[in-house]
Amino acid sequence: MIIKAQHSMLSAWLRTMISLGLLALLQACTTTTIDEFRQGATGITADDSVVILGRRQGAAYETRAQFVECVGERMARGSNAINVVPEQQFIDAMFPWFEPRTAPLRSEDLQQLMAQPLVKEIMTEFGVRYIVWLDGQTETTSRMGSISCAVGPGGGGCFGFGSWEDDSSFEARVWDVSSATAVGTISADATGQSYMPAVFVPIPLIARVEANACSSLADQLKQFVQGG
Amino acid sequence: MSNCTVTGKHAATTIHGLKGNRDLQSGILKRVLTSVLILLCLASCAARTVNVEGSYPRPNIPAIPLVLGVYYGEGLTDFVYTELSDRGEEEYLVASGDTHQVLFNTVLPAMFERVVVLDSMEEAAARGVDAVFVPRINEFQLGMPQKTRLDSYEVWVRYNMRLTSADGSYIADWVMTAYGKATASSFSTAERGINDAAVAALRDLASNFSLGFTGVPDVRDWLQHRMSQ
């Protein structure tokens, strides 16, 4: 009798958990918007490469190196893969010209920079055709709810519900090194709501906002530099 | 019965022995625990030292055709910044003298035709240098996430740079600032964060110094004079 009651309680708990999980899974999705603004013709050969650099001039935030790496890795794989020079390798080789305080801010500054024989030589060595400047960040807003956890001699557990919203906003400015001009801008905005229900164990249902912004932006950038 | 008595005696002896052993073990355990607690307390109370370590790339700039002497004085080599806690106790000691020498020993040979490291200012004339460079740290500030409420470690340094001729006479004296920050990570230590922020600040100094050196008014005038000779 007791076993039967426990069994029915367990089934009810499982059903609740599955329903909560499915509900949250349905809602833990991301919306991504990509905008492209083309200023000039593009095209890339098999010998050419692209370097993706994060903007780090601002005091309030800096573009995360992990996001820059993510975009680069995605552009360098799959069909029509592009040669991507790793950010840190390029910045070290170009030292001190691409540091936060010395990096060119406008495409006109790139013309002046390319006038330096050492800079031009390294740029040619890497075969850099396009410089992509990534600028942006992911912010977490609208935090709601609370989760309490307790541990005792008989065990522990958590109970509660938490949710938050992540907003990613990134802009990629593409400079053509051969002409030292800006050829276009692509922006990616992604939003998603994450949930964390906790009934004994917290179950994180995370909206992969930055990852989606990364993949969408990388795919668009790949098409853009290939002239598509 | 006799067996029973013997067993009882034996049992009593065993119990007594066990009790004695337990007391001994408990005593040792107490002493060990007390020592561990004291050590932990001392470790948590003692200031943690961060010896800043990093590598710096060589600048890609045209070299000035001069021989530069560099003297790393006490204001640089033995510089240790002390970060105090909210209660005024020493929390972190940041030693950056060695890494500053590594930095200048990488940057200066790219900026000049030849660089001579001097043990004293007096040997400058004998070593045939055109000028002597003396860097010095004036001020060092550290921003810790728990104090600034930001998610990064920040380092700000103010330097006094001095350039003299081989005989010690004035050429230039100027102030430079450097800033670096490192994002605080949940899986990293404060020591690592401080080190990364300091290395970023030194890299900032290196880029600014190597590109801005010839733009310092007194240095520019001196260089123009030297080149025209």
Q: Does A137 reach chain B within 8 Å, measured CB to CB?
A: no
A102 touches chain B (CB under 8 A): yes
Residues B21 and B133 in one domain: no
> Which of the four pLDDT bands, split at 50, 70 and 90, describes residue B10?
very low
ipTM confidence score: 0.77
Query: pLDDT-based confidence at A3, cuts 50/70/90?
Result: low
Tell me the percentage of chain B whose pLDDT exceeds 90: 69
In chain A, residues with a C-beta closer than 8 Å to the C-beta of B204 are 99-101
**Which amino acid, A92?**
D
Tokens 């060695």 -> residue: B98
Q: Determine the residue type at B146.
A: Q
Cβ of A92 under 8 Å from any chain B Cβ? yes
C-alpha distances in Å from residue A83, one per residue of A73, A74, A102, A120, B116? 10, 11, 25, 19, 42
A contacts of B210 (beta carbons < 8 Å)? 96
Name the residue among B159, B123, B155 with its Cα closest to residue B52: B155
Domain of residue B35: give its range: 1-46
Contact between B204 and A100 using a beta-carbon 8 Å cutoff: yes
Q: What is the mean pLDDT of residues A16-34?
A: 70
Predicted pLDDT at A23: 56
pLDDT tens, position by position, B129-170: 999 999 999 999 999 998 888 889 999 999 999 999 999 999
Q: Is the CA virtual torsion B147, B151, B153, B154 positive or negative?
A: negative
Q: Give me the DSSP letters along chain A.
A: -HHHHHHHHHHHHHHHHHHHHHHHHHH--EEEEEEEEE-S-----TT-EEEEEE----SS----HHHHHHHHHHHTSSTT--EEE-HHHHHHHTTTTTSTTTS--SHHHHHHHHTSHHHHHHHHHHTEEEEEEEEEEEEEEEEEEEEEEEEETTEEEEEEEEEEEEEEEEEEEEEETTTTEEEEEEEEEEEEEEEEEEEEEE--B---HHHHHHHHHHHHHHHHHTT-
pLDDT tens readout for residues A38-88: 999 999 999 999 999 999 887 778 899 999 999 999 999 988 899 999 999
At B137 the pLDDT is: 96
- Three-class secondary structure assignment of chain B: CHHHHHHHHHHHHHHHHHHHHHHHHHHHHHHHHHHHHHHHHHHHHCCEEEECCCCCCCCCCCCEEEEEEEECCHHHHCCEEEEECCCCCEEEEEECHHHHHHHHHHHHHHHEEEEEEECCHHHCCCCCCCEEEEEEEEEEEEECHHHHCCCEEEEEEEEEEEEECCCCCEEEEEEEEEEEEEECCCCCCHHHHHHHHHHHHHHHHHHHHHHHHHHCHHHHHHHHHHHHC
User: How many CB atoms sit inside 10 A of residue B93's CB?
Assistant: 15
Q: Are residues B39 and B94 in the same domain?
A: no
B1 shares a domain with B78 = no
Judgement on whether residues B24 and B110 belong to the same structural domain of the protein: no
Give B98-102's long-range contacts (Cβ < 8 A, gap of 24+): B98/B51, B98/B52, B98/B53, B99/B52, B99/B53, B99/B54, B99/B198, B99/B199, B99/B202, B100/B72, B100/B76, B100/B135, B100/B137, B100/B202, B101/B72, B101/B76, B101/B77, B102/B54, B102/B55, B102/B56
What does the block give as tokens for B72? 């790393």
Q: Please give the full DSSP string across A10-22, using - where no structure is assigned.
A: HHHHHHHHHHHHH
Neighbours of A134 (CB within 10 A): 24
**Chain A residues with beta carbon closer than 8 angstroms to that of B208:** 96, 101-102
CA dist B205 and B156 (Å) reads 10
Separation in Å, CA of B132 to nearest CA in chain A: 23
**Is residue A72 situated within a structural domain?**
yes
Give pLDDT tens digits for B35-67: 777 666 555 567 899 999 999 999 999 999 999
pLDDT exceeds cutoff 70 at B4: no
Which token pair is A141?
């807003």
Long-range contacts of A143-152 (CB under 8 A, 24+ apart): A145/A196, A147/A196, A147/A198, A147/A202, A149/A198, A149/A202
Q: Are residues B32 and B51 in the same domain?
A: no
In the block, tokens 């300091």 appear at B198
Provide the pLDDT confidence category of residue B3 given band limits of 50, 70 and 90: very low
B181 with B197, same domain?
yes
Q: Are residues B167 and B135 in the same domain?
A: yes
pLDDT given for residue B6 in this prediction: 38
Give yes or no for residue B5 having a pLDDT over 60: no
**Number of structural domains found in chain B:** 2
For residues A210 and A30, the answer to whether their CB atoms sit within 8 Å is no
Q: What integer is the mean pLDDT of B179-204?
A: 91
**Does residue B3 share a domain with residue B66?**
no
pLDDT grade for B187, boundaries at 50, 70 and 90: confident
Q: How far apart are CA B83 and CA A102, in angstroms?
A: 30
Q: Do B60 and A102 touch (CB under 8 A)?
A: no
The per-residue pLDDT for B2 is 35
Specify the higher pLDDT residue, A6 or A18.
Answer: A18
Do B173 and B210 fall into the same domain?
Answer: yes
Q: Is residue A146 part of a domain?
A: yes
> Inter-chain contact B208–A101, Cβ cutoff 8 Å?
yes
Would you state the pLDDT for residue A104?
94
**d(C-alpha A99, C-alpha A88), whole Å:** 10
Higher pLDDT, B84 or B30: B84
Instruction: Provide the domain limits for residue A209.
Output: 30-225
Judged against a pLDDT cut of 70, whether residue B17 lies above it is answered with no
* A44-53, A59-68, B20-29, B86-95 — most confident range: A44-53
Both ends of chain B: CA-CA distance in Å? 120
For residue B41, the model assigns a pLDDT of 57
The answer to whether residue A15 is domain-embedded is no
* Model confidence pLDDT, tens digit, residues B96-117: 999 999 999 999 999 999 999 9
Q: Are residues B20 and B85 in the same domain?
A: no
| pLDDT-wise least confident of A87-91, A123-127, B7-11 | B7-11
Contact B160, B138 (CB under 8 A): yes
B155 and B176 co-located in one domain:
yes
Distance CA A191, CA B129 (A): 61
Domain count, chain A: 1
- Min Cα distance A47 → chain B (Å) is 24
Residues B183 and B72 grouped into a single domain: yes
Looking up residue B202, the CATH number of its domain turns out to be 3.30.160.150
Residue A7 domain-assigned (yes or no): no
Set of chain A residues whose Cβ sits within 8 Å of the Cβ of B59: 95-96
Residue B74, pLDDT score: 87
**pLDDT score of A144 more than 70:** yes
What is the per-residue pLDDT for A61? 82
Cα B136 to Cα B122: distance, rounded to the nearest angstrom: 18
How far apart are the CA of B158 and the nearest CA of chain A, in angstroms?
16
| Short-list A82, A96, A95, CA closest to A52 | A82
Q: What is the CATH number of the domain that holds A140?
A: 3.30.160
Q: Reply yes or no on whether the pLDDT at B93 is more than 90.
A: yes
Arithmetic mean of pLDDT, A140-161: 90
**Which residues of B touch chain A, with CB atoms under 8 Å apart?**
57-62, 181, 183, 203-204, 206-208, 210-211
In the numeric block, which tokens belong to residue A157? 């557990």
pLDDT computed for residue A9 by the predictor = 64
pLDDT at A7 over 70: no
Report, as an integer, the average pLDDT of B73-78.
90
Strand bridging mode A49-54 / A83-85: parallel
- Residue A132 maps to a domain: yes
